[in-house]
Chain A
């Protein structure tokens, strides 16, 4: 039995990990991007939600998957060596109306059996998190909230999947789903035709287009843009707890949080775009100013502007129906939608994977593997080691001592290791972004102005292409246009 998963985001990969436990199925993951986690997953607030903001009457499935997913992440971060922190979160109220909303969420916490949620009066609030603006009057504390590195999570799951014989087909765009006798039998990509018995649509923003290829046309996805500001690790005030403004019906509010990488993240905005704007990954002056205004409410003062290391935007896949769309179709048989996985999709992802396997199990008998590899280790970072361990490693391989990124202290060996791991999961095109997400070079204060060229030389050496042929993230995003003097050669020709 062959299963094809369209989409190598956190949802598709979570499904793949669950499916990799069974011996009578062969799992294939297809993504149009050159690498995993480059769609919705990449630009994300990174929160593992406690699920006290989910209404069980309106969205019972979403609430259940959020709650279960949250707890699965406790295990997955350990099994897969995913950077995480679990400081808890506080919704902050500044007026009576917002206190009313906090009390509503407290009642949801009680109903959803979320542990540890409680109201904090002003004094308690400021003693639990002294870096909150003292004009706050109340908070709702949910100690189980966490934050993970979402793109590292996608990479970790993908590597674990590869260890468990999941096949990856990256840089291939699905252009058709093949149906025969009201059964799905395969997909056509920009490169090849694949025979599949089951096709799982986890295509994020483009799930509606994939559904239409299978003749299903009862929903659409529109992008909801979220812009973010990322500050350097030295930025202050940097609260320990995840804090955010009181949610509205449309959004969970603006968050201020210390990331797993010790940087400070502010975001997101919530801007609904039309369904054809699935490439609008741009930041705007208005969006950034909106974030600063909200952060100014939460913090006693804003960190200085010169400590901004990046501004970026992500698109969340909002379903026209408002709810997660997860269903095993009887017509065409074998087509599974896992669409509209909007917030809290990151939290729910591991539970969504499990739920999809249950749906499949209702139709097919799944036989567990005798040997399934549960664990995966991340790339060893020289900076994280003690002196003794460092020297052991450097003696064996001196490139662990050759620091390429001055901002983050990343070694050449880590970059080479990232290249090897990319190859292992079937990345055909080694990109600068791929190296950035895995090693955190080009991620610090200088944003790669010193080390990017050095990284490009390492890729060039190990992959055997010219530095200017390397792309930031596929497509036309080449690092250069050719060698110096190439413009004259063009003229002469």
Chain B
């Protein structure tokens, strides 16, 4: 138990597994710490397809996708700690991190030179998005409903209203219909859906499920401890309910699909700075925290991704960074260049670039745009976008050669033609 690892990967989902495979292949002593009693993370409960289109150029289900990584992990010399809860991470020095854990085997401290933090995201819940009314049975987040149905065989309800048009909610709308339930509608407060277009088409339109844009649920009604209906209202420009537009919709189940948030509690506690735009950590192009050296972040803990493929890519980037970090006993000093989200940009990750290597930028626009250029100031890179929604994550590769053309901060903008 008392060995020191080169890297401790926290989280055994796609990002963490991809990272661990790569660090092990580079000869680094690797441990994967996973809270559940199995590897795989959330994709295990995602029985729909759409996984791996970018990475494997194949259309796989969640379990099919993630088992390709699990199998590789099993073939390698990687220590696995399942059912292991990380209580705290302590940053002792650039080359020493201590991880306090509790597991059925005991409670002890794992020592590692570096951390790849890939603990995923949590879902926003009813109280966070402020839906008043009775606190009763029948209200679930989309992810909880998915776990109930597709991991444990529990049917949550039969007449379903979905709040929010996030991808998990859209996928669950279809799942419910396929299990014989009725989905009365999807309510979205904004004027446009927050999930991917492919999911709007395949999960709602193909099944005739109505999408109510610019609507919100203003109250949950109950009967004998269970949801009996919801009051929905139209909202005005400032997203407040418009009086007089209330409609009562009968349902026994309400699914909250109001988006995900990176899980950052342990990171914050050790001093990792958080970007209020992504609500994930502020990182450089090594995906290393800018405030705690040797802590690398990947997957949905870094930024909420559209595709699992991106989470895997981030895991692999973090793994390469760890390899370099251990060789050099830190990320080599650099004249860091800030990446600044300009007009119409919700966020860009990473937040700093070294200019030493190619970098993948992940970004979202802040509102739906048409006939736009996504442009990167200074470098002169311009990408035309015919139509772009905030729900689509933009992935842009900046080559080292492009970055070397210009030395100042990098302003990312979406400019209308």
Contacts and interface: CB of A to CB of B under 8 A. Distances in A.
Interface of A: 234, 281-285, 287-288, 305-306, 308-312, 382-383, 387, 390-391, 394-395, 398-399, 401-403, 406, 409, 411, 445-450, 452-453, 456-457, 467-468, 471-488, 490-491
A249 to B, nearest CB: 27
19 contacts: A283-B133, A285-B218, A308-B128, A382-B107, A409-B102, A449-B125, A471-B137, A472-B137, A476-B137, A476-B224, A477-B136, A477-B225, A477-B226, A481-B156, A481-B158, A483-B153, A483-B155, A484-B149, A484-B154
B157 interface: yes
B77 interface: no
Interface string B124-143: 11111010111111101101
B370 interface: no
A445 B224 contact: no
A448 B144 contact: yes
B179 A282 contact: no
A234 to B, nearest CB: 7
Nearest to B221: A282
B196 interface: no
Given A445-B265, A446-B123, A487-B158, A394 B106 contact: yes
Nearest to A398: B104
Given A453-B152, A468-B155, 10 more contacts: A282-B135, A310-B135, A394-B102, A395-B106, A398-B104, A401-B105, A403-B83, A476-B225, A476-B226, A479-B154
B106 A487 contact: no
B180 interface: yes
Given A401-B102, A449-B140, A473 B225 contact: yes
B400 to A, nearest CB: 38
B83 A468 contact: no
SS class, residues of chain A in contact with chain B: mixed
Nearest to B241: A285
Given A282-B134, A484-B153, A402 B225 contact: no
Nearest to B137: A477
B130 A305 contact: yes
A238 to B, nearest CB: 15
B152 A467 contact: yes
A456 to B, nearest CB: 7
B179 to A, nearest CB: 6
A111 to B, nearest CB: 41
Contacts of B135: 281-283, 310, 312
A282 B220 CA distance: 9
B103 interface: yes
B85 A409 contact: yes
B273 interface: no
Given A471-B137, A487-B181, A383 B87 contact: yes
Nearest to B100: A387
A364 to B, nearest CB: 40
B147 A394 contact: no
B231 to A, nearest CB: 11
A477 B150 CA distance: 21
Nearest to B176: A487
Given A288-B132, A453-B148, A476-B225, A311 B127 contact: yes
B117 to A, nearest CB: 14
Contacts of A484: 149-150, 153-155, 179
Nearest to A311: B127
B365 to A, nearest CB: 22
A487 B154 contact: no
A476 B252 CA distance: 11
Interface in B162-192: 179-181
Task: Please tell me the size bucket of the interface on B.
Answer: 35 or more
B189 to A, nearest CB: 14
B106 A475 contact: no
B154 A467 contact: yes
Contact of B132 (A284, A383, A478): A284
A402 B81 CA distance: 12
Nearest to A230: B127
A398 to B, nearest CB: 4
Given A406-B35, A446-B125, A480 B156 contact: yes
Contacts of B223: 476
A467 B144 CA distance: 14
Interface in B103-122: 103-108, 122
Contacts of B102: 382-383, 390, 394, 401, 403, 409, 411
- When A and B form their complex, which 5 residue pairs have the shortest distance between CB atoms, in order from nearest? A487-B180, A477-B225, A403-B85, A477-B137, A398-B104
A390 B107 CA distance: 7
A192 to B, nearest CB: 23
B54 interface: no
A479 B222 CA distance: 15
A134 B179 CA distance: 57
Interface string B291-302: 000000000000
B38 interface: no
Contacts of B149: 484
Max count, chain B CB within 10 A of own CB: residue among A399, A406, A452? A406
Contacts of B128: 305-306, 308-309
A284 B218 CA distance: 9
Contact of B180 (A409, A468, A488): A488
Contacts of A283: 132-133, 135
Contacts of A480: 148, 154-157
Contact of B107 (A287, A391, A474, A485): A391
Given A484-B149, A488-B180, A308 B130 contact: yes
Nearest to B279: A306
Nearest to A403: B85
Given A477-B136, A485-B179, A453 B105 contact: no
A472 B136 contact: yes
Nearest to A405: B85
B268 interface: yes
A486 B157 CA distance: 10
Contacts of B106: 390-391, 394-395, 401
A475 B134 CA distance: 15
A229 B154 CA distance: 31
Nearest to B83: A402
Contacts of A287: 132
Contacts of B157: 480-481
Nearest to A391: B106
A399 B156 CA distance: 28
B261 to A, nearest CB: 8
A450 B45 CA distance: 12
B191 to A, nearest CB: 21
A182 to B, nearest CB: 38
Contacts of B105: 394, 398, 401
Contact of A288 (B130, B141, B180): B130
Contacts of B156: 479-481
A453 B144 contact: yes
Nearest to B223: A476
B44 to A, nearest CB: 13
A491 B180 CA distance: 9
Nearest to B182: A487
Interface string B222-259: 11111000000000000000000000000010000000
A442 B135 CA distance: 14
A387 B107 contact: yes
Given A308-B127, A387-B108, A487 B265 contact: no
Contacts of B87: 383, 409
Nearest to A491: B180
